[in-house]
Amino acid sequence: MLLRLSTLFVRTLREDPVDAEVASHRLLVRAGYIRRAAPGIYTWLPLGLRVLAKVEQVVREEMAAAGAQEVHFPALLPKEPYESTGRWSEYGPNIFRLKDRKGGDYLLAPTHEEMFTLLVKDLYSSYKDLPLQLFQIQTKYRDEARPRAGLIRGREFVMKDAYSFDVDDAGLDASYAAQRAAYQRIFDRLGLEYVVVAATSGAMGGSRSEEFLTPTPIGEDTFVRSAGGYAANVEAVTTVAPAAVDWSDAPSAHVEDTPDTPTIDTLVALANAKFARPDREWTAADTLKNVVLALVQPTGERELVVVGLPGDREVDLKRLEASVAPAEVEPAGDADFAAHPELVRGYLGPGVLGPNVEVAEGAERTAVRYLLDPRVVAGTRWITGANQPGRHVFDLVAGRDFTADGTVEAAEVRAGDPAPDGSGPLELARGIEIGHIFQLGRKYAQALGLTVLDQNGKAQVVTMGSYGIGVTRVLAALAEANHDERGLAWPAHVAPAHVHVVAAGKDPAVFEAAESIATTLAGRGVEVLYDDRPKATPGVKFADAELFGVPLVVVVGRGLADGVVEVRPRVGGTAEQVPLAEAPDRVAELVDDLLAD
Amino acid sequence: MLLRLSTLFVRTLREDPVDAEVASHRLLVRAGYIRRAAPGIYTWLPLGLRVLAKVEQVVREEMAAAGAQEVHFPALLPKEPYESTGRWSEYGPNIFRLKDRKGGDYLLAPTHEEMFTLLVKDLYSSYKDLPLQLFQIQTKYRDEARPRAGLIRGREFVMKDAYSFDVDDAGLDASYAAQRAAYQRIFDRLGLEYVVVAATSGAMGGSRSEEFLTPTPIGEDTFVRSAGGYAANVEAVTTVAPAAVDWSDAPSAHVEDTPDTPTIDTLVALANAKFARPDREWTAADTLKNVVLALVQPTGERELVVVGLPGDREVDLKRLEASVAPAEVEPAGDADFAAHPELVRGYLGPGVLGPNVEVAEGAERTAVRYLLDPRVVAGTRWITGANQPGRHVFDLVAGRDFTADGTVEAAEVRAGDPAPDGSGPLELARGIEIGHIFQLGRKYAQALGLTVLDQNGKAQVVTMGSYGIGVTRVLAALAEANHDERGLAWPAHVAPAHVHVVAAGKDPAVFEAAESIATTLAGRGVEVLYDDRPKATPGVKFADAELFGVPLVVVVGRGLADGVVEVRPRVGGTAEQVPLAEAPDRVAELVDDLLAD
């Protein structure tokens, strides 16, 4: 394959696109791989499409190796199956909905659990037909509230989604393990570092799920790891609650004047100044912070709740959303406080929430639900709002003086927190979710009536798994992991070409030699990008070569007078001066080495 | 490649699907290649997807050979570019429209002229960048009023769309010729018979277009051919108007009582009975039929018109629609006649329409536009309605007694009509449109501002072509052209496999021999579908083999006792008894022959 830059449909940009925050987005646009068509919606140019096809091919091969069969579903689908499982409403504004000319409701599918379930129901009826794994590589749609980071969070994107169908739990375990292993091979082959972490299932439902994350500081997901092998998305971390504390010798709660202390910092400062205790200073960890939030259901129904958590932790909205899915969470606004005068902003405490502390004069006990961080166990003692402006209550004891309507995982996870499985303190890192595998269990099969007859002729509900890879996102993750300040630097097996030949000079001999190397290599099956542009300067050509990121660069230029060309890797390694006649052999050899990795 | 039927995700059906009118639809569903997901929207099962991939590969290779570069645009696109060219409204209810969560207007693209134009504008600026040809193989959407015939007229379908960009008309001619030649190679390689016919451009606009039709009685398109080489879609046929006739010795028009003659047949019968002329009988060709129709614009605006044409011809709604595009045409209804009492149903004539015949007492001259068939030239003499119930006017002379608001191509084309280029009488046939190529000219570039600087530094509007192949429709056309009453019968290069090995019997030796042949062939690169189902009877397996349509069938069965297997083509040819040990060689040889065709 020989691509000539003189005719290739590509233009590089020297300037970063204004909306690009991350390197993959910036460089894929600048190098002419993709182009924005609308927010979160991209056009693929020839170089980008070549990389995408190579990534898809790796995915396709490993799916086949895992025993999954390829099918292809429509993107445009009728509402009914998604209504049967509740997802039509659960997805809320996150899916694109439309009507056809007859008024029928349709959606652009975000994933295809329902359709796969119905198709298997349509074709299969016996336990002998199972196990079954199906997959597709297909264009998916999500109407993201905030499409961002180019291909990383788009609204139209390519996904590989696979589904497994088994008669029993052991079968599901085996299918899940096969897909999990295929994912490991895929990311290994792509040279993409990954961690597998426990995850929450969100709108997908099901009992167990794991995410494949590629670690990068620009990742949207935060995950934790312990030295003892625990790994999870922060959304899936369950808080280790301390043991309850004996409160028998705790003093009674007492309300104090704490003027001008609407924040934890000002409260702690005042507590240490006015109410110092002998043994140690007050810290934020001694305070109980109460945050008013709204849970918004996909139907639009909006419920205020108050979340109580230790004052040294912030609320992590994504963790809270994972706990209350499919609801989304938003901060309470002025209108909420106006509607609930009993919630005294800045001085809010469980006094109006729990049953056991007297309600201040003129205040009402609220009907807003109160949810507590799991760390606030019975017997713990807190400084917290007294539900009156400028006043806080001290020595308020959980379980004795207040209770809650439940606990909730809303607090941020911090480095050093204990792993839930006791395997040591947690480290935090950021990553991009590149794969997600779910044991769905029987949720979809039950809702849509997918059963098979077992050995005894009895109908059994099928148990399912669902396995996704964001193919376009993987491409972006590869760009994130393989670039420098000058451009992209693709691994050989996904690069748009293996070799970039640069005719660097004006002398016809330069073009003649470069042409000869390029065509010789292409004739031997090497994929060549050849910069044959007659007018571009060597400087422009070198800059473009660095932007494109083809792994090997062959420069035919000044050295030609001495009968040599330069062969250099795009990153790392050193440049070699190779005699012209030997160049094709040497380059082909280097390409083989790169592809063998 | 070895596909085992024991695990392949497929089920054949013995019964035709109730909604299937044509063989390709019926057989592709029954053989488990596709499955309906919604009206005009299909899911691809493994066998279907394999055929589709092969068809796509032929298209991709020939596009590359023609110099077109592959890109990929989104299906979900914002309204604005389509509004700039007027297509947002021109497509009327034929496109799927939707809003995103922010209320922005989007569509599911029916074709991508606008986006390609904008992308080239974005990247290119000089005449030196041209010529350029780009293509994509992509999923497209049209909200057809009547999706039908399975893949032939769907609402979600795969299309190859290519676009050419040139600085001048000669360049466009060359690009058009290159694409036209590529289309011929594609259909030749697919073994699909085709004719290239002149066509109308419809909502696409532009100056010249041709369709590739594959002849079949179930085709939706009617085309004409003359012995002299003229070929056109009937929609593109222009009527040969006869020369004007001298009316100087024509008698005056006279109104006669013609009770109970609301149809042409009854009118002709009465004319011959009551108003016989000496030289010859009256025929329908002597009458002028006036048909009330409504033109419905994409905006919904509805205009009544009366179309006058010789009484021996019917109105061809598709021809009329091509003439009045983007308007659609519908018959007038009771409400229309109620609103226009001057249009006397069954006795309507140009008297209320043209200026020269006196309006009957009590009747009003209508404001409804009157459009005439081009055959109704000045001097032609007609029997037509007198705009009074039970009365017709005789010897009404066009040009003398009535005129019209214009002519229109609304009458059906009939076998024997003269070719517009004088190349002889026309024959009619039906076909499926499998490709359509357009010289768009400067319509899109003008609307969207795509210019390049020429040699003199002057901005020139680019001239464009647009070239489409309905890939999924081509697959259906292949199935139409390659089947018999028992099932599909694919050409080898698009078949889902080259060889179908049937283990026909219960003896373990049968399975052992079949397995050996299947794996040996697969190991030699032959694509094998192996029916290894342990319980299915030979009869079921043979029926399925005929349904699937793999070109070579190898039966391992009764002959095994004599050391032979049967090798037979799915259609034509004769069965051979081949010694077991020689079977792989012989089959591989036959496959090579088939693929060499």
CATH of the domain at A221: 3.30.930.10
Q: Identify whether residues B476 and B491 lie together within a single domain.
A: no
Q: Does B596 touch chain A (CB under 8 A)?
A: no
Which residues of chain A neighbour B98 with C-beta distances below 8 Å? 96-98, 108
Q: Identify whether residues A215 and A98 lie together within a single domain.
A: yes
SS3 (DSSP) at A434 = strand
- Among the candidates B456, B480, B504, a domain finishes at B480
Nearest chain B Cα to A101, which residue?
A: B93
Which residues of chain A neighbour B44 with C-beta distances below 8 Å? 71-73
- Among the candidates A407, A442, A469, a domain finishes at A407
- A residues 12-71 near B, CB within 8 Å? 32, 35, 37-38, 41-46, 49, 52, 69-71
Nearest chain A Cα to B52, which residue?
A: A72
Q: Identify whether residues B55 and B151 lie together within a single domain.
A: yes
Mutation test of the interface with chain B: which of A2, A3, A55, A72, choosing the one with the most B Cβ atoms within 10 A? A72
A242 in any annotated domain: no
What's the pTM value of the predicted model, to 2 decimals? 0.91
Residue A151, C-beta contacts closer than 8 angstroms, at least 6 positions apart: A24, A25, A28, A34, A42, A157, A472, A473, A475, A476
CA distance A114 to A54: 29
Bridge partners (DSSP) of residue B223 are: B233, B429
Q: Identify whether residues A128 and A172 lie together within a single domain.
A: yes
Q: Identify whether residues B158 and B286 lie together within a single domain.
A: no
B1 in any annotated domain: no
Please count the other Cβ atoms lying within 10 Å of the Cβ belonging to residue B140: 22
> Closest approach of chain A CAs to the CA of B31, in angstroms?
12
Q: Among residues A458, A440, A439, A450, which one has the least CA distance to residue A120?
A: A450
Report whether A41 contacts B77 (CB < 8 A). Answer: yes
Q: Does A122 touch chain B (CB under 8 A)?
A: yes
Q: Among residues B405, B367, B544, B414, which one has the least CA distance to residue B5?
A: B544
Mutation test of the interface with chain A: which of B2, B5, B49, B76, choosing the one with the most A Cβ atoms within 10 A? B76
Which residues of chain A neighbour B145 with C-beta distances below 8 Å? 101
pLDDT at A298: 85
Considering only the beta carbons, identify the residue of A73, A78, A96 that sits closest to B100: A96
Q: Among residues B476, B470, B496, B431, which one has the least CA distance to residue B156?
A: B470
Which residues of chain B neighbour A139 with C-beta distances below 8 Å? 75, 139
Q: Which amino acid is at A548?
A: F
CA distance B373 to B188: 39
Q: Identify whether residues A18 and A160 lie together within a single domain.
A: yes
Report whether A554 contacts A567 (CB < 8 A). Answer: yes
Considering only the beta carbons, identify the residue of A43, A98, A141 that sits closest to B97: A98
DSSP letter, residue A201: -
Q: Does A145 touch chain B (CB under 8 A)?
A: yes
SS3 (DSSP) at A573 = coil
pLDDT at A550: 98
Nearest chain B Cα to A41, which residue?
A: B74
Residue A496, C-beta contacts closer than 8 angstroms, at least 6 positions apart: A3, A33, A46, A47, A48, A50, A51, A490, A527, A529, A548, A550
CB pair distance less than 8 Å for A49 and B71: yes
CB pair distance less than 8 Å for B8 and A69: yes
Give me the count of residues in chain A.
Answer: 597
CB pair distance less than 8 Å for B76 and A155: yes
B89 in any annotated domain: no
A284 in any annotated domain: yes
Q: Identify whether residues A144 and A199 lie together within a single domain.
A: yes
pLDDT at A206: 65
pLDDT at A326: 85
pLDDT at B325: 86
A200 in any annotated domain: yes
pLDDT at B319: 94
CB pair distance less than 8 Å for B71 and A9: yes
The CA-based angle B283-B285-B289, given to 5 degrees, is 110
Residue A586, C-beta contacts closer than 8 angstroms, at least 6 positions apart: A567, A576, A578
Segments of chain A with pLDDT less than 70: 202-206, 351-365
Residue B83, C-beta contacts closer than 8 angstroms, at least 6 positions apart: B89
Q: Identify whether residues B275 and B398 lie together within a single domain.
A: yes
CB pair distance less than 8 Å for B11 and A123: yes
Q: Identify whether residues A158 and A285 lie together within a single domain.
A: no
Considering only the beta carbons, identify the residue of A52, A96, A119 that sits closest to B43: A119
Bridge partners (DSSP) of residue A256 are: A392
Residue A125, C-beta contacts closer than 8 angstroms, at least 6 positions apart: A452, A453
pLDDT at B207: 74
- B residues 69-108 near A, CB within 8 Å? 69-78, 93-94, 96-98, 100-101, 106, 108
Mutation test of the interface with chain A: which of B29, B55, B72, B128, choosing the one with the most A Cβ atoms within 10 A? B72
Q: Identify whether residues A132 and A223 lie together within a single domain.
A: yes
Considering only the beta carbons, identify the residue of A11, A32, A143 that sits closest to B100: A143
Q: What is the ipTM of this complex?
A: 0.90
CB pair distance less than 8 Å for A76 and B156: yes
Bridge partners (DSSP) of residue A196 are: A212
> Closest approach of chain B CAs to the CA of A14, in angstroms?
13
CB pair distance less than 8 Å for B72 and A43: yes
A vs B, Cβ pairs < 8 A, gives 128
Domain CATH for A375: 3.90.960.10
The range of the structural domain enclosing residue B64 comes to 49-72+110-237+427-480
- The model's pLDDT over B368-378, given as tens digits with 9 standing for 90+, comes to 899 999 999 99
Helix H segments across A452-561? 471-481, 508-523, 538-548
Q: How far is CA B120 from CA A330, B444, B463, in A?
A: 43, 12, 12
A97 in any annotated domain: yes
Number of domains comprising chain A = 3
Assigned token pair, A470: 């964001």
- Among the candidates B438, B460, B480, a domain finishes at B480
Q: Identify whether residues B387 and B355 lie together within a single domain.
A: yes
A419 in any annotated domain: no
Segments of chain B with pLDDT less than 70: 202-206, 351-365
- Dihedral, CA atoms, A371, A374, A378, A381, nearest 10 degrees? -90
Domain CATH for A558: 3.40.50.800
Which residues of chain B neighbour A78 with C-beta distances below 8 Å? 37-38
Please count the other Cβ atoms lying within 10 Å of the Cβ belonging to residue A8: 19
The CA-based angle B501-B502-B507, given to 5 degrees, is 130
Q: Identify whether residues B496 and B549 lie together within a single domain.
A: yes
Considering only the beta carbons, identify the residue of B9, B43, B93 that sits closest to A73: B43
> Closest approach of chain B CAs to the CA of A92, in angstroms?
10
* Phi-psi map region of A346: left, alpha, beta (phi>0 left; psi -120 to 50 alpha): left
A491 in any annotated domain: no
> Closest approach of chain B CAs to the CA of A210, in angstroms?
27
